[in-house]
Amino acid sequence: MIVYITITIILLLLCGVIYRAEQAGCTGAPTDRSRGGAAVRLAFVMIFLVMVIPEALRVNTGNDYMKYVEFMHLANVEGAYLVTEPGFNILVRVVYGLCGYENYLLVFALFAAGTAAMALLGLRLQAQDFSFSFFLFLMFGYYLQSYNTVRYYLAMSIIMVALYFFARREWAGFAAMVLLAACFHKSALVVFALWPLCLLLWNLPMTAAAAALGIAVNLPMLRGLWMDVLTKLYPSYANTDFLGQVRFSYVNIARCGIVLLLALYDLHVRGVRKKDLPDTERFYFNASLLALGIYVFGSFVPEVSRIAYYLSVTQLFYLPVLLLRSPGKIRRLAVFAAVLYFAAFLYKAGTPTIRILPYRSIVFHDLPKILSEVTQ
């Protein structure tokens, strides 16, 4: 745990350098030749390195680390049955081919670098306040969760860049980013359906109809149909304990609820109606509302958070906008709540569903045997 706390503190200190420089009017753009601009660029490089190096050097850390070692082995076996996407398979084959052996450490390192780079780019492009959005990115556990399910979190970071194009109605760039993300995790394709829904001007009847649909989807007679669809999309779920179990994500439900309450408070204080919000803010509001609906009514769907995260990730950009207009007391309370959220995540980081504790590094620990070595 000390490792992760230390990493987080260093990242926040570097983020503070960016905040102070930007407050002084330094953008860090290539055309900014000031000392502050150089400090911003250096801080971004240091943030990238601090995010990537510990993740690249980890070994057998994460609840699916060894499963991914097996996925990589199978991706390099001709004719093997693969459940992973083409982008992952091609990357593994290229790396293993160039190295001449199953260098899964390099593959993990490349995923770590790609995830960090795309996440930082997405935050930099879309965030109104990069420092606050990056603080939330850390506190909500997006960085540390990327130690698990590396395909998914690479896709998620690419989707954060796609959001920049989506918000500006640059559809070609948006589609290209989503398709790139889907090359590593096909769940990214859901944003083609979900994000346009969030652009609509939802009224009370539409919201009530959506809630009624959510209730209908949960009827026992329809659950079997949805389970059949899911097993066709994800064959690995077939005949597992994932199917048929109801798992409410109370923490994520509470987070979406708090964001929506804060948004409604902001509307009330400013005397603004939801339909009069700028398109981007209305999109953020609807994304949190739809995420809440998915968490509540889609609790029987395996790994429902993977779907809802593509909506709730917008909170990294929405919360700073809301809190910028809120009284200082609410801002301080929000920061305190975010820190508590991070502390709760670290508290359960050693559980089997996360298992990023204890942290193991190739510097101090032996490499686990790969599947081909075990079966010989």
pLDDT of residue 373: 56
pLDDT: which is higher, 69 or 248: 69
Residues 118 and 180 sit within 8 Å (Cβ to Cβ) = no
- What is the arithmetic mean of pLDDT over 355-368? 83
148-165 mean pLDDT: 96
> Which of 20-34, 61-75, 147-161, 199-213 is most confident?
147-161
Q: What is the pLDDT of residue 243?
A: 54
Question: Is residue 367 over pLDDT 80?
Answer: no
Helix, strand, or coil here: 57?
Answer: coil
33: pLDDT strictly greater than 90: no
When pLDDT is averaged across residues 60-80 and rounded to a whole number, the result is 90
Mean pLDDT in residue range 93-112: 95
* 3-class SS of residue 364: coil
Within 257-352, strands assigned E span none
Instruction: Answer for the pair 260, 287: CB distance below 8 angstroms, yes or no.
Output: no
Residue 58's SS3 state is strand
Q: Where are the alpha helices (H) located in 218-278, listed in sequence order?
A: 220-233, 250-270
pLDDT band at 372 (very low <50, low <70, confident <90, very high): low
Q: What angle separates helix 279-297 from helix 191-199, to the nearest 10 degrees?
A: 120
What one-character-per-residue DSSP string does 21-34 give?
A: HHHTT----TT--S
Cα(305)–Cα(295) distance, rounded to whole angstroms? 7
Q: What are phi and psi of 114, to 5 degrees?
A: -65, -45
pLDDT tier at 245 (50, 70, 90 boundaries)? low
Mean pLDDT of 244-254: 78
Q: Give the whole-angstrom CA distance, residue 323 versus residue 128.
A: 12
For position 230, what pLDDT does the model report?
Answer: 67
Query: What value does the mean pLDDT take over residues 313-340?
Result: 94
Q: Per-residue pLDDT tens for 284-299?
A: 999 999 999 988 887 7
Kindly indicate the confidence band of residue 249, based on its pLDDT and cuts at 50, 70 and 90.
confident
Residue 58 pLDDT > 60: yes
Average pLDDT, integer, range 29-47 = 89
For the segment 345-356, the average pLDDT, to the nearest whole number, is 90
| pLDDT for residue 363 | 78
Give the pLDDT confidence of 104-118 residue by residue, as tens digits. 999 999 999 999 999
- 328 pLDDT higher than 80: yes
pLDDT digits (tens, 9 = 90+) for 192-223: 999 999 998 887 787 888 888 777 776 666 66
Q: How confident is the model at residue 144 (pLDDT cuts 50, 70, 90)?
A: very high
- 161, with CB counted inside 10 A (0-12, 13-18, 19+), is buried
Confidence of residue 323 (pLDDT cuts 50, 70, 90): very high
Cα(259)–Cα(255) distance, integer angstroms: 6
| Three-state secondary-structure class, residue 361 | strand
Q: In whole numbers, what is the pLDDT of the chain averaged over residues? A: 88
Mean pLDDT of 57-72: 91
Cα dihedral 182→185→187→192 (10° resolution): -20
* Kind and range of the H or E run holding 188: none
In this prediction, residue 126 has a pLDDT band, given cuts at 50, 70 and 90, of very high
Q: Look-up: residue for tokens 């091609």?
A: 90
| % the chain with pLDDT above 90 | 63
How many CB atoms lie under 10 A from the CB of residue 123? 22
Tokens representing residue 271 in the block: 């005397």
What is the structure's pLDDT at 140?
Answer: 96
Average pLDDT over every residue of 272-291: 91
Q: Which residue has the tokens 């204080």?
A: 269
Express as a percent the part of the chain with pLDDT over 70: 89
